[in-house]
A and B are shown apart, each in its own frame.
Chain A
């Protein structure tokens, strides 16, 4: 899905009268502008050669951070991943394509 984002609207200092009522956000996809993954202590490392694209990690990730390309798992979105480790935990032991490492 491609989303047209009004980045100026998101970052500008709009006044109270310019905002939609109830503090609602009227455009989908604003999280693409908001990088929320910069404070993780550990991060998952994905091994392309081991991954069987069973999508267990994709289903369990609470932040939708497993990238998918052409019907296959294609890595981790580090801009939004918080490093919770659930993906590495649910990755089948025989596969072990996701392992946690120190983030920095």
Chain B
């Protein structure tokens, strides 16, 4: 990682929600349409004060539901505006009908999204069930480990989503309360630098261009629907290279480089944990502790879950002996969590592949602590040494 000393960044104390609202202020979108929901409420609330204080030129639309919020974003984006919103859990699920439409229309809407468990029972705390529920909607999904990443990821998401080879909506997640409401010291870019990094938005088309009238969202039956889906599928694949390129540029300019994955002490590791979001931070701590005791262990953090980095995951895990995939949601498929099955799928055609087990953990905001993660590593080390694979899918930290 090259650290830039040329651009003076501001060191500030911010919660995850404050950091994301700050990034939105610097992006200065044309339209923000939002509806409040815990734990994401603050993002649009703080942003609305920026609007009231005249710090941004945004048209703020206070709608009556998340379905309307996403619909207003689609409408304004189709008119050529840079549109943003923010939500969580039930709000994301209420948007669900409109999410694939935004993707199919190739509208680069960017949405901070705070991971919160979906009802029921009703619960406002963190797990990844909301984001995973919308994983096949054509949206790029970027997970943040901490507040710094949440800020950096929102800025990068604009560049990624609006890239000519991508033009797809993107959501950037934080973990509910764990990141959204916890204050951390972060570095933020000067306003003009952030503004220059995201650049000006040039829409691909506009329904308000009377000189060139177009139809958006018309019916598309057997003869053309498939041909209209294929470019979107290709764009998601293209996005992988763009995400890497934008992450590299961010690193070169500001000293914090990003990739589809983050490999932590994986080089000579024999076993590893794979996880997303804030748990990666906790896992790094455990890796350090056990490494100090001579254990060859590591972490693979999946930063981008959509598009799924199949090739990079296969390359990163192929040489290991045993891997535990940690899922903060259950796919209710009878076979563990969605990250687990996709990681298995990525490895299936690899010549060398590790044994893979799955732990579903942290549902409804249940804490995951150092001891639990240490126990997972200990089990992996036993499997590595030829021990019985045992139960492939298990549940961590639940009273069975």
B231 contacts A16, C-beta separation under 8 Å: yes
B106 CB contacts on chain A under 8 angstroms: 21-22
Per-residue B-contact encoding for A49-72, CB less than 8 Å = 1, 0 else:
000000000000000000000000
Q: Does B227 contact A (CB under 8 A)?
A: yes
Which one, A14, A15, A24, contacts B205 given CB within 8 A? A24
Query: How near does chain A come to B77, taking the closest CB pair, in angstroms?
Result: 10
Q: Does A26 contact B (CB under 8 A)?
A: yes
Query: How near does chain B come to A19, taking the closest CB pair, in angstroms?
Result: 6
Which residue on A lies nearest to B213, using beta carbons?
A: A28
Query: How near does chain A come to B209, taking the closest CB pair, in angstroms?
Result: 11
Docked Cα-Cα span, A11 to B13, in Å, equals 59
Interface residue tally for chain A (C-beta within 8 Å): 15
B104 CB contacts on chain A under 8 angstroms: 22-23
A13 contacts B223, C-beta separation under 8 Å: yes
Q: Does B167 contact A (CB under 8 A)?
A: yes
B223 CB contacts on chain A under 8 angstroms: 13
B224 CB contacts on chain A under 8 angstroms: 14, 19, 23
Docked Cα-Cα span, A23 to B225, in Å, equals 9
Q: Does A30 contact B (CB under 8 A)?
A: yes
A19 contacts B107, C-beta separation under 8 Å: no
A13 CB contacts on chain B under 8 angstroms: 223
A26 contacts B105, C-beta separation under 8 Å: no
Q: Which of B20-28, B214-222, B340-348 forms contacts with chain A?
A: B214-222
Q: Does B398 contact A (CB under 8 A)?
A: no
B215 contacts A19, C-beta separation under 8 Å: no
Which one, B212, B214, B227, contacts A14 given CB within 8 A? B227
Q: Does A39 contact B (CB under 8 A)?
A: no
Docked Cα-Cα span, A21 to B231, in Å, equals 8
Which one, A15, A16, A26, contacts B214 given CB within 8 A? A26
A23 contacts B228, C-beta separation under 8 Å: yes
B212 contacts A23, C-beta separation under 8 Å: no
Per-residue A-contact encoding for B99-135, CB less than 8 Å = 1, 0 else:
0000011110000000000000000000000000000
Interface residue tally for chain B (C-beta within 8 Å): 22
User: Contacts A14-B227, A16-B227; is A22 near B212 (CB within 8 Å)?
Assistant: no
Q: Does B11 contact A (CB under 8 A)?
A: no
Docked Cα-Cα span, A24 to B104, in Å, equals 10
Which one, B105, B227, B230, B234, contacts A22 given CB within 8 A? B105
Interface centre among A21, A28, A30 (most CB of B within 10 A): A21
Docked Cα-Cα span, A68 to B114, in Å, equals 54
B216 contacts A19, C-beta separation under 8 Å: no
Per-residue B-contact encoding for A1-36, CB less than 8 Å = 1, 0 else:
000000000000111110111111110101000000
Which one, A14, A15, A21, A24, contacts B215 given CB within 8 A? A24
A26 CB contacts on chain B under 8 angstroms: 212, 214
Which residue on B lies nearest to A22, using beta carbons?
A: B106
Q: Does B52 contact A (CB under 8 A)?
A: no
Q: Does B204 contact A (CB under 8 A)?
A: yes
Interface centre among A14, A23, A28 (most CB of B within 10 A): A23
Docked Cα-Cα span, A15 to B234, in Å, equals 14
Which residue on A lies nearest to B226, using beta carbons?
A: A16
A15 contacts B227, C-beta separation under 8 Å: yes
B218 contacts A25, C-beta separation under 8 Å: yes
Query: How near does chain B come to A57, taking the closest CB pair, in angstroms?
Result: 25
Which residue on B lies nearest to A21, using beta carbons?
A: B106
B227 CB contacts on chain A under 8 angstroms: 14-16, 19
Docked Cα-Cα span, A17 to B204, in Å, equals 16
Residues on A close to B: CB < 8 A?
13-17, 19-26, 28, 30
